[in-house]
Structures are given as C-alpha cells and as structure tokens.
A and B are shown apart, each in its own frame.
Chain A
Amino acid sequence: MDTPSGGLVRSHCVGTTAVVYASDYLNKLTGEKIERECRRQLDCGCRALVIDFSDTELVNSIGISILLGIIDVAEKSGAQIVFSEVNNQTVQLFEMLGLTRHVVLAKDEHEALINLSRFETTPIVH
C-alpha cells in the first residue's frame, strides 16, 4: 500500500492501475485531495484509475464537480477510469448530474480491476 506525500488519501497500484480511496464525506477538500492523488498517479505512469467509494457515505455537489474534473484529466491522459462500490444514494446523484455517462461503475474494486484488464487487452482502433 502506498500513501503519497502531502495528503491523507489512501491509494495503491495494481500494475499500471492506481486505486484511490475516497473518504466518508466527499466534499471540496477531500475531492481536491483525491484529484491531486489521481494526477500524481497519472504523472507516475498509471494508465488507469479506480476510485473506490466503499467508505463514502455522503457526496456533495462540489465533490461531484471535482470528480468530473478528474474524469476530464484522465480522458486527456488517455487513461481509463472506473468508480467502484458506490452506494445507491450516490449513484442516484451521479445519474442526476450526468456523471454516469462518462464513467464506468463497478460493484467493487475487484470487478473494477477486471473491467480495466479487459480494456488493456482490447486493441484500440482509431
């Protein structure tokens, strides 16, 4: 397990995939920490991101806007992104604000990693 400097966001790498754990309340402050960690992981060469919401009980609209920013950053880096173990309430919010159009949801971290491994083996056709 890897804890990056300058933040309390838990994360670790599985191959070229970084798994970042969101805290119990996703707001501006915790959202920005996740964003920083994701950027750091991408800068270090990660090709995919899993953001795990297993601890997250509550998400606010600022947190969601930051997640959209992370999705943008990932897209620009050519990295895949999956959200895992999102509770029903949060899924509802993501749907309301259109996040689910831009990100894959997985039941848990394991399913997320499997999904991403499929992407890695699928040749990209331009």
Chain B
Amino acid sequence: MSSRNENFRRVLGRVVQQDFVGRAAELNRIMAHAESAKAGRGLLLLMEPSAGVSELLRQAYDQIFNRRSEVIPIYFAISRNETTAVSAAIEFLNTFLQQYIAYRRDEPVVSDAPLTLHDLVELAPAADLEWIEQLVESYNRLRFSNDDKALVRFCLGAPQRIPAVRGRPFVMLDGSQLAEYLNGAVVLGTEILRVFARGGFSFVLAGLRRQILEAAHDANCNFELLDMLRLEQLDATEAAKLVEHVARRQQVATSEAARDLIVQQFAGSPFFIHTYLQAAREKHAPLHSYLDCERLYVDELFGGHIHRHFADLLEEISPRLDTRHLLIRLLWEAAAGEEPISSFELWRKRLHMTATELEDLLHRLHVQEFVNWDETTIEAGSGPQAWKDYLKIRYRLDVMSEPRALVVADMLADSLKRAPHTMARHYKQIANAGLRDLISRFNCQQVPAALFDYKIFSEKYKGAESETIVSGLAAETEFIKLPQTIHLATCSAFISDMRQLCEDEHCLVAHTFEEATYSDAQEVIWLAADIESKLEVDVSVARAWCDRFESMAERLGFSRFQIWLISNEGFSVEASALLARRKALGSSRQQLELLASHVRDSVHNAVVETEGPDEFMMVVPMGEDNELIAASTAEQIAKRLTFRPEAINQIKTAIVEACINASEHSFSPDRKIYQRFRVESDRLVITISSRGIVPTNLNGTKSGAEAKEVAEERRGWGLKLIRTLMDEVEFERVDDGTSLRMTKYLRPQKESKSAIE
C-alpha cells in the first residue's frame, strides 16, 4: 500500500517519506512483518556497525500509524541516558502506554510528548481505562518490591496486556546494542528476547548483528519463530542518493565529486553520512572540493560528532583511562599493520588485565567489529576508515604526546593525499566488478574455448566486426565447461602480502567443483588475476604471475588449481606460449566481456525456465506402470504444440525410459518421480527428477568403447534411447538424486540419429 499522499502524517520519522532513501526493501520487509500472517513472530534486524537503523524503524512506525489498521505500532529506542536495565524497562513501559494511547486517540502529538504515567491514565480512552489502570497499579506495586528481574519482565511484557479486541501490538525496539552494557544484575538484551519471544506479539529487535545473535542464543529463543533481516551499508548508488537528499535537507552545497568522495570515504554508511552532513550544516561548510570535504572530516575526527561517537564507544568498551590509552596503542599498531593477529595472552600482558577483564573488553570490541576474537587469537585492524583515523589521532595525541597542530596538519594532508586513491580504487572496483561477478556465476556453462585462449582468439577474431565474432563463436566446436563456483574471495583474504602486488578485486581465488560434483577429484581452485597493462602482457609479467599463483597454491595446499590471467590487450606471442606450457588460461578484456555475455545469457535462460508460465508439474509414485501416466500427460501437452505423431511417440518413449531409470537406479527414499513439462513456443522441455543416488552409468556420455560394451548388454539402453529420441538431453545438477532434462523441438534441430549398435 502506498502511503505517499497528502494525508500522511509524520509522527516519529525525522525525515519526510520522500527523503528516506536507500532502505526501501528493508522497510517493505518490516511492513510485511507487521501483517497478520506474521503474528507472534520476531524479526531480528542484524545491523552492521554504523549501518543505521533508527530512521528505518521510525519510518515503519509512521507508515503503520497512518494505516489505522488493527496493528498498533510501538517504537522504543534504548538510549545511552538509561543507566540500568530497570530504568530502561520503566522507560519502555512509559513509551508503550504513550504510543498506544496516541494510536487509539489517533493523535500523533501524544506519541512524543513529555507525559508521566499519571498523565497517560488521564488521557486513556474510556474503553481502555480499566486495563491501563490495572497495569499502572501492578507496576506501582512491583516498583518497590526489590525484585528487579520481575519488574523488568513486567514492563517489557506490557504489550501483551492489550485486549485482543483493541488490536495487535507491533513492537520495534531500536538500539538494543546498548542494552548489554547497562549496569545492574539484569542483562536487558537477553530479557527483551525472552519476554518478546514468549509474548505472543510480533516484534522487531534491531541491533548490532554479532550481539543480537548472541543474545538470541543466550535467551534460548525458538529460531523457528524468528526471521532475520541483515542491514548492511548502502551500495554506492543508494549512498550517493542519500548524500544528495541529506545535503539538500541540511542545505549543504555539494559537488558531484564531493558527494562521491563522501560515499567512498564512509563506505556507504548512513550513520556517518548523516553525522557528517549534519556537521557541515552546523559549520555552514559547503562541500565543493576534496579540500572542503577533508577539512570537515578532520574537524569531525578531532572534536566533532564523529569524535564523540568513537570516544563514547571507547569509553564504554574501556572505562578506565589508563587502560584506554594502552588499548588505543594496541589497536593502532594493529591497524597500522604491525601486528594484526596476536594472542589473548599477549593482550592480557600489554593491557595489564585479568583474563576476565580482558574477555569483557574483547567481547565489546568484537561486537563493534573492531576486532575479530575467537577465544584464543585476536585479529585487530578492522573497522571503518574513520575509526582507524580516529585511532591514529588518539595514538599520536594521547600516547605519543605529539603537538596537536602537527597531528591535525598531518591528518589533513594524509586525508587529501588519500582522497584520489580512494576514488581511483572505487573506479577500478567498478571496472573489475565484472570479473568477480562473472566468476561467481560460473555454474557448469559450456563456453567456447577460444574465450580462454588469447592466441586462438586473436588469430581468429582480432579486428573483426562484433557480429562476425559473435557468429564465429556460435559456430565454435571446441568448448570449455565452466565449473561451479562455491566460494569466491580476494587473494589477499588468503595471503595478505598479495595486497602489495595488486588491488583486492583484481586478484581472486574461486573454489569450484567441475560438473558441480562435490568430490575431491572434481575440486579445482581457480586463481584469477586482472593484470593492469595498456599493451599486450609480455612473457616476464605472465611468468611472474604464474610463479606467484603456483607458489600461492603450494602454500595454501591447493592440489588442483587453474590459473587464469586477464589483461586489457591480451598477451604477447611469447607470453601466450608460456601460458600454454603452464596450462594457464589467458583472456583479453574483449574475451572477458564476450564470456560474461555467454554466462549471463545462460543464467537468464535458467531463470526463464523456472519462471515460465506454461509449466505443468506432476508427481507420480514409482512402479505400477505409472510411467504411462507421465507419457500420456506429455502426449496431451505435445498435441497442443502440434508435434507430429511420430515425434509424440518419441517423446512418450523417452519419458517412459526416464521414469524407468529413475525407478530402477535411484534408490529413491520417497519412491516418487517428479515431472515438469514446460511449453515454449518452439519446444517442449521435460524434466524427470527423483531423489536418491546418482547412478554412475547415467552421468555424461560414455566413450565409444564403453558405449559399445553397454549396447552389447541387454539392459542399460534407456539413456541411449532417450538421447536418440530427444533433441537435447542433459542432467541438471541437484544435491539429492538426479534430474534429467529432455528437450524436443517442433522442428528437429538434428537429423535423426542412426541405430545404436
């Protein structure tokens, strides 16, 4: 339902709907969660640090408020002002009653007014007065009972006291990342999940992803009743829109270059973008140039909102000043790359802490994703760029006691020097996004082998018109079957030294399986590098890359690997010869683009296949001549497509054979045959699937000798018949069992095959 109309009232939202950009999908998901079908379910909003969630929930609140349905929106943000779980829970109760009454009275202003419980009882609609009075009385009794846990649970459970006839509460709790650090005996985050998960009402709990998941486990939540929504940073396009909207709202003049730098410098973080542009407004600082941007950035790091954000976090993580200085030193040294991974014991010694104290500190750093801690080792040096810059400043000022003016000047100079590199990296990433995307789409497609051999490609197609190349490739007879990619990461993720040799996205490691068959024999690691070169890559560069990858493979224990080098202009004759000798693949940019188009087309086709409207599905039990039912169905469908009677008989026989194969060879646990008939304008595609094992004799074509041997036996002819009777026959990869796809064209694509003998 679109609520973008003149009657829409802003209640808690801080921006008008039109200015809320970048989170449309997430907002829709929350709105869907409020529907009755999700009644009683929880939605965990797992937020990457600084990804921003508050406005998303406030926008959801406003939309639900304006709908005036049976869903009663409740939004509560735990703030840093609350120092104990009890005070936070009491504040929740107050907010709940206030927003409930605001909704019932349809008076948005009540939602955010400073009201006491006494005021709220007076404002309660007559129909609600009784239960609200009882709630307040019970609260007053518990408040002085010295049972904090009972009081916290009572307050958090208040929404379930709404009489069913008044509507369904939809509670959105924001900022729960703070809950764990509240003083007192009650761990609020865990209590929230315990009460909400058993409260029978729908809720959204938003917080830092690592913390929320941990709290859900600690609270022994029933994960079947929980949905998850991951909230990450915005992509460059959405983040650029956000900068434009916020800058306009804050009346900050920006150029396109500045906008893009802000997006990249803050890695698309809505929190930092908002905070930064707010500072620009407060300081009346237009952002036209890189210098404008970096001046404001450095100001923010030294004493602005960003400084306060990180200072508050550090204080929460390490309240003692002396330890904080030691921590800053440790973290900065790790961020500077001196000791990114170290042991728990080393940290304990350097921070002069007990094991328990250090565990607490590391847990807090881990939740904020400033470190990755796995009980024994600590990997520091992560976190956003602003965090690393803040650490550097604090280190130089607090630990090294350097003059402030010098640190400011250095930081400004460094930021300015870094800005063009930041943008260059982004532009290269855009250019190279293709390679990562392409490899990630490898899924057993057959592509012309010429696309992986620059020598052959250049001999045949260099300088040719694109139509000629496309038609030439279509007529190629040599193919490479791509493997299925199951994991893709940058080389530096495996060996950090690789970062010094090339940009992250230029050098990738793909774990793949040939034929999508998950066995040791079929596992191949693809090592791909996009080499920057304006000319054909010469033999020395090609050799260096092959050596590098071979050494990497040895170091990482990759027993089977495939090197693939890409260069804009391809490879010299000598380099091509070297690649051939080393069994490495080499492609130019043009080959890469053609390959991408082949792979994209095959993916597109796959989508069409599964989404086609003219599709019939049928499940029949194995045995009892049930293959005849399938054959009859196919006959009826084929008649609609005006297949010739002879072709219809061929289809029927092929289906019968496929069903027999499924019945005889699959050891199917459910003894069922799954059939899908898809009608296309020029063909009928039939897929026969069954669960169970993959018979070894079914997968792929046999060699001539093997085929003869099989033909001489009196059984095992089914697949041979199918291949002869149908135009295309292919086994689709499925995790369990087999799936045989058979295609018959209205106009046969091939001449009839001769007898199998």
> A residues near B, CB below 8 A?
25, 27, 58-62, 64-65, 68-69, 88-89, 93, 95-98
Is A96 within 8 A of B756, CB to CB?
yes
Q: Does B628 belong to the interface (CB within 8 Å)?
A: yes
For B717, list chain A residues within 8 Å (CB): 61, 64-65, 97
Contact assessment for A58 and B657 in the assembled complex, using a CB-CB cutoff below 8 Å: no
Q: In the complex, which residues of chain A have a beta carbon less than 8 angstroms from the beta carbon of B631?
A: 58
Q: In the complex, how many angstroms separate the beta carbon of A49 from the nearest chain B beta carbon? A: 18
- Min distance, Cβ B755 to any Cβ of chain A, angstroms: 5
B622-673: which residues lie under 8 A (CB-CB) from chain A?
A: 625, 627-628, 631, 646, 649-650, 652-653, 656-657, 660
Q: Is the CB of B755 within 8 A of A97?
A: yes
A60-B656, A62-B715 are known; give 11 further A-B pairs, CB within 8 A.
A25-B628, A60-B653, A60-B657, A61-B660, A61-B717, A61-B718, A89-B649, A89-B650, A89-B653, A97-B711, A97-B717
Is B714 among interface residues, defined by CB-CB distance under 8 A? yes
* Bound form: Cα–Cα A27–B337 in Å: 72
Shortest B189–chain A CB gap in Å is: 64
Q: Which residues of B contact A62 (CB under 8 A)?
A: 660, 715
A96 in contact with B628 given A61-B660, A62-B715, A88-B646 (CB within 8 Å): no
Is A65's CB under 8 angstroms from B714's CB? yes
CB distance from B328 to the nearest CB of A (A): 76
**With the chains together, A95 CA to B724 CA distance in Å?**
12
CA distance A96 to B717 in the complex (A): 10
Q: B709 on the interface (CB 8 Å rule)?
A: no
Which of A27, A59, A98 contacts B625, CB < 8 Å?
A27
Selected from A27, A61, A89, A95, the residue in CB contact (under 8 A) with B755 is A95
Residues of B within 8 A of A69 (CB): 714
- For B569-598 the 0/1 string (1 means CB < 8 A from A) is 000000000000000000000000000000
A25–B649 Cα distance when bound, in Å, is: 13
Query: A96 and B656 in contact (CB under 8 A), knowing A65-B714, A65-B715?
Result: no
Q: Does A98 lie within 8 Å of B714, measured CB to CB?
A: no
Cβ contacts under 8 Å, A88 to chain B: 646
Name the residue of chain A whose CB is nearest to the CB of B648.
Answer: A89
**How many angstroms from the CA of A69 to the CA of B714 in the assembled complex?**
8
Chain B residues with CB below 8 A from A58, complex form? 628, 631, 649, 652-653, 656
A62 to B625: give the CA distance in the assembly, Å: 13
Q: How many angstroms from the CA of A91 to the CA of B91 in the assembled complex?
A: 86
Main secondary structure of the interface of A (DSSP, over half): helix
Instruction: Say yes or no: is B721 at the interface (Cβ < 8 Å to chain A).
Output: yes
Asked if B757 is at the interface of the complex by the 8 Å CB criterion, the answer is yes
Within the complex, which residue of A65, A68, A93 is in contact with B653, where a contact is CB–CB below 8 Å? A93
Query: Cα distance A98–B718 when bound, in Å?
Result: 14
Nearest-neighbor residue (CB-CB) of A60 within chain B: B656
If A58-B656, A60-B656 touch, does A98 touch B757 (CB 8 Å cutoff)?
yes
In the bound complex, how far is the Cα of B652 from the Cα of A64, in angstroms? 16
Residue in B649, B715, B756 whose Cβ sees the most chain A Cβ within 10 Å? B649
List CB contacts (< 8 Å) of B542-582 with chain A. Answer: none
- The digit string for B734-755, where 1 denotes a CB below 8 A from any CB of A, is 0000000000000000000101
Asked if B756 contacts A60 (CB within 8 A), the reply is no
Residue of A nearest to B659 (CB): A60
User: Can you list 11 A-B contacts with CB-CB less than 8 angstroms, sorted by A residue number?
Assistant: A58-B653, A60-B653, A61-B660, A61-B717, A64-B717, A65-B715, A88-B646, A89-B653, A93-B653, A93-B721, A96-B724
Whose C-beta in chain B lies nearest to the C-beta of A67?
A: B714
| B657 and A98 within 8 A (CB) | no
Residue of B nearest to A69 (CB): B714
Residues in A with CB closer than 8 Å to B721 are 61, 93, 96-97
A88 to B646, CA, bound (A): 8
CA distance A69 to B724 in the complex (A): 23
Contacting residues, chain A, for B628 (C-beta < 8 A): 25, 58
Inter-chain contacts of B625 with A (CB < 8 A): 25, 27
Neighbour of B714 across the interface among A68, A89, A93, CB < 8 A: A68
Tell me if A89 and B646 are in contact (CB < 8 A).
Answer: yes
In the complex, chain A residues whose CB is within 8 Å of the CB of B656: 58, 60
A residues within 8 A CB of B660? 60-62
Q: Which 8 A-B pairs have the closest CB atoms?
A: A65-B714, A89-B649, A61-B717, A98-B757, A96-B755, A60-B656, A95-B755, A61-B718
Across-interface contacts of A89 in B (CB, < 8 A): 646, 649-650, 653
Contacts of A27 in B (CB 8 A): 625
Q: How far is the CA of A120 from the CA of B657 in the complex (A)?
A: 38
CB distance from B394 to the nearest CB of A (A): 78
Which A residues lie within 8 Å of B718 (CB)? 61
Contacts of A95 in B (CB 8 A): 755
Residue of B nearest to A87 (CB): B649
Residue of B nearest to A88 (CB): B646
Which residue of chain A has its CB nearest to the CB of B631?
A58
Question: Is the beta-carbon distance between A97 and B756 smaller than 8 angstroms?
Answer: yes
Most chain A beta-carbon contacts within 10 A, residue among B650, B711, B721: B721
